Chains A and B, each alone.
Chain A
Amino acid sequence: MIAFILKRLGMVIPTFIGITLLTFSLIHMIPGDPITVMAGERGVSAERRAELEALLGLDKPLYEQYFVYISNIAQGDFGKSLITREPVLDEFLTLFPATMELSLFAALFAIGLGLPLGIIAAVRRGSIFDHTVMSISLAGYSMPIFWWGLLLIILFSVTLGWTPVSGRISALYWVDTVTGFMLIDAWMSTEQGAFTSAVQHLILPSIVLGTIPLAVVARMTRSSMLEVLGEDFIRTARAKGLSPLRVIMKHALRNALIPVVTVIGLQVGILLSGAILTETIFAWPGIGRWLLESIHRRDYQVVQGGILIVATMIILINLLVDVLYGVINPRIRHSN
Chain B
Amino acid sequence: MNKTLKLFMGAALATAISATAGAKTLVYCSEGSPEGFNPAFYTSGTTFDATSRQIFNRLVEFKPGTTELAPALAESWNISADGLVYTFKLRKGVSFHANKSFAPSRNFNADDVLFSFDRQRVKDHPFHTVSGGSYEYWDGMGMSDSVKSVKKIDDYTVEITLTAPNAPFIANLGMDFASIFSAEFANKMMAAGTPEKVDSMPVGTGPFSFVDYQKDSQIRYAAFDKYWAGRAKLDRLVFSITPDASVRYAKMKAGECHVMPYPAPADLAAMGKDKDINLMTQEGLNVGYLAFNTQKAPFDNKLVRQALSYAIDKQAILDAVFQGSGKIAKNPIPPTIWSYNDDVKDYGYNPAKAKELLAQAGLSAGFSTNVWAMPVQRPYNPNAKRMAELIQADWAKVGVTAEVVSYEWGEYLARSKNGEHDTVLLGWTGDNGDPDNFLYVLLSCDAVGGGNRAQFCNADFDSLLKDAQKTTDVAKRTDLYKKAQVVFKEEAPWVTIAHSVVYQPLSKNVVGYKIDPFGGHAFYGVDLK
Chain A residues engaging chain B, CB cutoff 8 angstroms: 31-33, 36-45, 48, 51-52, 55, 80, 83-85, 91, 94-95, 98, 150, 153-154, 157-158, 161-168, 170-174, 176-177, 191-193, 196-197, 200, 280-283, 285-286, 289-290, 293
Question: Smallest Cβ distance from A283 to chain B, in angstroms?
Answer: 4
From A157, A163, A167, residue with most partner B Cβ within 10 Å:
A167
Instruction: State in angstroms the CA–CA spacing of A200 and B15 once bound together.
Output: 13
Say whether chain B's binding surface is mostly helix, strand, loop, or mixed.
mixed
The 8 Å CB contact of A171, one of B13, B211, B254, B257, is B257
Bound-complex Cα distance A151 to B466 (A): 57
The residue in chain A whose Cβ has the minimal distance to the Cβ of B428 is A41
Is the CB–CB distance between B247 and A83 below 8 Å? no
On whether the beta carbons of B16 and A281 are closer than 8 Å, the reply is no
Cross-chain contact B134 with A36 (CB below 8 angstroms): no
B270 to A: closest C-beta gap in Å:
11
Separation of A94 and B33 alpha carbons in the complex (Å):
14
B12 touches A200 (CB 8 A): yes
Query: Are A289 and B216 within 8 A (Cβ)?
Result: yes
Could you tell me the distance in whole angstroms from the C-beta of A276 to the nearest C-beta in chain B?
12
Task: Give the nearest-CB partner of B220 in chain A.
Answer: A174
Known contacts A85-B36, A193-B19, A283-B217; A171 and B240 CB within 8 A of each other: yes
| Cβ of B145 to closest chain A Cβ, rounded Å | 11
For residues 197 through 249 of chain B, which have their beta carbon under 8 Å from a beta carbon of chain A? 211-212, 214-218, 220, 236, 238, 240-244, 246-247
Contacting residue for A167 out of B134, B242, B413, B427, CB 8 A: B242
Does B298 interact with chain A (Cβ within 8 Å)?
A: no
Residues of B within 8 A of A173 (CB): 16, 19-20
A192 to B19, Cβ gap below 8 A?
yes
The answer, among B33, B246, B409, B414, for a CB contact under 8 Å with A37, is B409
Could you say which residues of chain B place their CB within 8 Å of the CB of A84? 35-36
A193 near B427 with CB under 8 A, answer no
Which of B254, B411, B451 is the one whose CB lies under 8 Å from A157?
B254
Residues from chain B with Cβ under 8 Å of A98 in the complex: 217
Contact check, B15 vs A171: say whether CB atoms are below 8 A apart: no
B residues contacting the other copy or chain, number (CB 8 A): 60
Closest residue on chain B to residue A282 by CB atoms: B247
> Which of A41, A51, A83, A166 contacts B251, CB < 8 Å?
A166
- Expressed in whole angstroms, the Cα–Cα distance for A89 and B292 within the complex equals 48
Given contacts A165-B254, A171-B27, A197-B16, contact A31 B244 (CB under 8 A): no
Task: Give, as a whole number of angstroms, the nearest-CB distance from B336 to chain A.
Answer: 19
In the assembled complex, B343 has its CB within 8 A of some CB on chain A: no
A-B contact pairs, 10 of them (CB 8 A): A31-B408, A36-B413, A39-B43, A40-B413, A158-B253, A158-B254, A171-B240, A177-B214, A193-B19, A283-B241
Bound CA span A170–B18, Å: 13
Complex interface bits, B1-36 against A, C-beta within 8 A gives 1, otherwise 0: 100001001001101110110000101000011011
Q: How far is the CA of A176 from the CA of B100 in the complex (A)?
A: 14
Residue of B with least CB distance to A51: B134
B17 neighbours in A (Cβ, 8 Å): 172
Residue of B nearest to A42 (CB): B140
Q: Does B78 contact A (CB under 8 A)?
A: no
How far apart sit A237 and B139, CA to CA, in the bound complex (Å)? 81
CA distance A157 to B17 in the complex (A): 16
Residues of A within 8 A of B196 (CB): 85
The answer, among B33, B217, B246, for a CB contact under 8 Å with A168, is B217
> Are B217 and A167 touching (Cβ within 8 A)?
yes
